[in-house]
Structure 1
Amino acid sequence: MVAGRRDWQCRAAMPVYWKIDSRRKLVTIVAEGDVTRAEIDSFLDVMDGVDCHDYRKLFDGAASETRMLPDDMLALGVRMRAMHKDRHALGALAIVVPDDKIELVSRVLGMLAVAERPMRVFSTLPLAEDWIERQSRA
C-alpha cells in the first residue's frame, strides 16, 4: 500500500442496469432487488440525455421488487407520458415482471397508452425477447 493512499470502498451497485445497442436499436434494462423511484428517474434522465426514445426497449424486472408508493408510481407514469408527448417515433416496449406484478405494471402502461408504440407485459424473458426482436427497428 502506498503511503497516503486511501482504500476506496465501492457502494453496492445500483439495482437498475442498462445497455444501449445502437446497431440493433435496442435498449436492454435489467432491474434486480429493490428498485426505487430515484433509480428509475436516473434511468429516464439517461434516456433523455442520449435521445434514444425511438429504440426498442426490453425491461427485465423479473428479479426486482419495489416499495414505491402509489404516488411514486403515478409520478413516474406522468413523467414518462410527458417524455412521450413531444416524440414522434417511439420504439416498442417489452416488460418482464413476476406474475404478481403484471396487473400493477399493466395499469401504469395504461397511462402510457397515449404513446403510439407497441407495448406488452410478459412473465418470462424468452417470450419478451422473441416479441421485441419481431418489432420494427424504426
Structure 2
Amino acid sequence: MASISTRTKKDGSKSFMVRWREPKTGKAQGLTVATESEAETLKRLLDANGQNFEIAQHAILTNAKRVPTVAEVIQEHIDLLIRPSSGTVKTYQTMLDFHVKKITSQRRHTRRSSSSTSVTWSVSLELRASDSVPACRGPTAWHSRSSVLAAQ
C-alpha cells in the first residue's frame, strides 16, 4: 500500500513524497510531487492498480489529455473570480446556464472550435441579444475579431 509523507523545504514550502513497493521487484520506490492533491491521486491510483506505477502513470497522462468543454472553462472562470459581487456571479452563472450550456450541449471542446466557429457563435449571440440585424460591419471589424480569437 502506498503512503504519503510531507516534506518541508528550507523556504517553508511543502512537497509531498509518495512511497510504494514495486510489485515485480519488491524495491521501494518514491516520487515527490508539488501538491497534496497530486499525491493523493497518485496514491489512490497505485493502491487501485496493485502498486504498478506504469498503469498509474498511464491513467494520469490519459486524464491530463482530456480537453475541457467551453462550459467547463467558463465555469472555472466564474469560480476563480476574485471578490465578485453576488449579482455578478448570479448574472454570469445565468448566462452560462441559459446561453452557453444550452447552445453547447453537444459537448464541444475548446480545441476543436475554430476561430470561424467562435465568430459565428459570437454574432449569433449578438443577434439574439438585440433581436435585430446588427449594423453593417466593415472587413476591419471582422478581421480584428478573427485575429483576437485566433490569438487565444
TM (normalized to structure 2)?
0.25
Higher strand share: 1
**Structure whose CA Rg is larger:** 2
Q: Which has the higher helix share?
A: 2
